[in-house]
């Protein structure tokens, strides 16, 4: 596991990069929330990250996240984010476990969470995940086909109006590429989609969750309000972690 001194140095470097990217875009760094991605790392690392000042933690698997939460109940200010694909059978386990669900990636999941929230009298804060690039390896509403834009907006708008979902914005994952222009086009497209959806009646939708270790600065320049960063903080995940 990473040493505290190294984590502190990494955190300072990441925060400096966030600040610089925000300044380049004429934004305040306070507009960008750092979500530390702790998937595949032990609960002890989350505790260390909390000790150095991190408060938002992103997990990809419901069971792994809940096990860590159970082991870290004393971290009173920790905010847990579900950022990975959610199987429909796991939807019930999401309720009450996360400050924000970034990965509502399809109508079926939105409807399931809405039904469960209604049954339990809970409002679920979520982001709607959109697949801007059209890659088949990525989850999300397919937002890569201009000819189907109206259908996309209609479906997203329907999800945003579900009574037990508190839809706060959109999320995406960019392609794995070093081409800055490609990355920028994906992040810009998500921001424009958010604006279209908001204008269509979905409300303010203030959050854009986009950008990871290799591309978060470009994402911030294009409007990201949350960046999901693991490797730049913690290094590679332990051997055997997926």
Q: Look at residue 165 and tell me whether its pLDDT is greater than 70.
A: yes
Q: Look at residue 242 and tell me whether its pLDDT is greater than 60.
A: no
Q: Look at residue 239 and tell me whether its pLDDT is greater than 90.
A: no
Give the pLDDT score at 136.
Answer: 86
Give the pLDDT score at 241.
Answer: 57
Give the pLDDT score at 4.
Answer: 97
Q: Print burial letters for 121-157: b (CB count within 10 Å at least 16), e (below 16).
A: eeebebbbbbbbbeeeebbbbbbbeeeeeeebbebbb
Summarize pLDDT for 194-233 with one digit per residue, the tens: 999 999 999 999 999 999 999 999 999 999 999 999 999 9
Q: Domains of the chain (ranges plus CATH)?
A: 4-234 (3.20.20.10)
Give the pLDDT score at 62.
Answer: 95
Summarize pLDDT for 79-137 with one digit per residue, the tens: 999 999 999 899 999 999 999 999 999 999 999 999 999 999 999 999 999 999 888 88
For the chain, give the mean pLDDT: 95
Give the pLDDT score at 147.
Answer: 86
Residue 121 token pair: 């009298």
Q: Look at residue 182 and tell me whether its pLDDT is greater than 80.
A: yes
Give percent of the chain above pLDDT 70: 98
Summarize pLDDT for 22-58 with one digit per residue, the tens: 999 999 999 999 999 999 999 999 999 999 999 999 9
Give the pLDDT score at 237.
Answer: 73
What does the DSSP assignment read for the chain?
Answer: ---HHHHHHHHHHHHHHHHHHHHHTT--GGG-EEEEE-TTS-HHHHHHHHHTT--EEEES-HHHHHHHHHHTTT-TT-EEEE-S---GGGHHHHTTT-SEEEEE-SHHHHHHHHHHHHHHT--EEEEEEEESS--TTS-SEE---GGGHHHHHHHHHHHHT-TTEEEEEEE----S-S-HHHHHHHHHHHHHHHHHHIIIII----EEE---TTTHHHHHHTT-SEEEESHHHH-SPPTT--
Give the pLDDT score at 94.
Answer: 94
**Mutual angle of helices 43-51 and 4-24, in 10-degree steps:** 60
């Amino acid at each position: 596991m990473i040493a505290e001194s190294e984590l502190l140095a990494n955190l300072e470097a990441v925060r400096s990069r966030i600040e610089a990217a925000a300044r380049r875009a004429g934004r305040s760094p306070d507009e960008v929330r750092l979500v530390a991605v702790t998937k595949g790392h032990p609960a002890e690392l989350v505790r260390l990250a909390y000790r150095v000042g991190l408060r938002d933690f992103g997990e990809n698997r419901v069971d792994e996240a809940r096990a860590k939460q159970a082991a870290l109940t004393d971290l009173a200010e920790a905010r847990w984010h579900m950022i990975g694909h959610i199987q429909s059978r796991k939807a019930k386990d999401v309720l009450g476990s996360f400050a924000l669900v970034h990965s509502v990636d399809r109508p079926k999941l939105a409807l399931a969470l809405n039904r469960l929230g209604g049954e339990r009298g809970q409002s679920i804060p979520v982001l709607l995940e959109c697949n801007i690039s059209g890659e088949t390896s990525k989850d999300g509403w397919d937002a890569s086909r201009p000819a189907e834009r109206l259908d996309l907006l209609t479906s997203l708008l329907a999800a945003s109006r579900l009574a037990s979902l508190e839809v706060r914005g959109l999320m995406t994952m960019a392609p794995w590429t070093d081409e800055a222009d490609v990355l920028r086009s994906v992040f810009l497209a998500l921001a424009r989609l958010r604006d279209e959806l908001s204008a269509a009646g979905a409300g303010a939708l203030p959050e854009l969750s986009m950008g990871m270790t290799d591309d978060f600065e470009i994402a911030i320049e294009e409007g990201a309000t949350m960046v999901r960063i693991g490797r730049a903080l913690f290094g590679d995940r332990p051997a055997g972690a997926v």
